[in-house]
Structure 1
């Protein structure tokens, strides 16, 4: 009864001899994980098709309208500018997918070094300052070191910049207007470091939290927003944390605030 097309079936435990109970339970658990993997793969394929179809349809529609009758040069220029935006969106999505594919490779490695958190995070916040102003959001940075520690992290600099940038971009996208997005960094005495990005906003419902780092996963409300991202940013943050032997987590109070935490282990432990 159990096959690639019927993974919902399970071995019965009712008539199983006691000496086979443990192996039967293990087999059923394996089927649970396999079924979940197939389900996520199917959802991934569906979401990928959706996210690729949208910009392609936009490009096709605008080109067809532009060619439907002769137009002024300014109109053609507007169509081309819009097309460039869609191409950039596709390019970012493909680049993100390539990063995740490389991160999945068993040979993938981070190249950690000591990074001054105050300097590195300050540069990241400066990069997002203009976007924050456009959305009427303030940015705040707090960096401290516990006794015996220095305000630094043992991490791959490019990956740290990308992970924190993704978290900050996400916070600005979902933060309330006229709020303050806060980035906090704490360096422990043993060399480990923790970075938090918190934004007041609508928050994330509890049922979405377990899958928030899955690829292409977005709460329904986010998918409906025109400003919603590709659904790969948080998956990339998790991959970067994994490559360092660190962790990423989230806690959210709906209607109040969402906080993402990125942890880097001490040197030699990644």
Structure 2
């Protein structure tokens, strides 16, 4: 269903500011709607046809397909200082509430964005920062370690909340939150493993790559030892292959501290 038909929208947008205010539509809203029309985000595809075959006769039937705009949702937000309401995109609103969302594997670009956001929010206030994690991709090793080091460097406590699927380096980051504030929802799928890789090139290059990977693995084992209370020998044995956890078993192992339960029963 279209928000605006082109003819009706042009009729609404064609008048003066006074006429538009008399119609109950704000001038800023009109400018935003006009920009959407100019960008063609509300368009119709009139040439899509379907073919129906019956009794050996093919007949083309025209149908109307409507494209809906795909964009980051905008939500109302009240600024703390002025107390004025304004429309901001969803991610900006979450950042202002000190909430970060990790919904894909950590890449170099995403890692730098999260690091910059964490550093800025920590400089503004030392209130708790919340990081919601839901990714089955894990992420690249070096950007994930950069994010881990930043989390440990901040003065603010980091509350990590896992939900959906938390695997690989994402599980390592969830485990790296402030002790006592590592949480998970009730049906989260958690998988932990140690980094692995393949080396190519000359024997010297392969040896250097292997030695560097072993060094990083030892660093991660030391970090997990501090966060879980398990020995490095046990961690190496448990995570040399993919190991899956339920939220309850992850809490028992020391990866998280608490499993969040529904606040109210279903149907009430």
TM-score, length basis structure 1: 0.21
TM-score, length basis structure 2: 0.21
**Based on CA coordinates, which of the two structures has the bigger radius of gyration?**
2
Write 1 or 2 for the structure with the bigger share of strand.
Answer: 2
Write 1 or 2 for the structure with the bigger share of helix.
Answer: 1
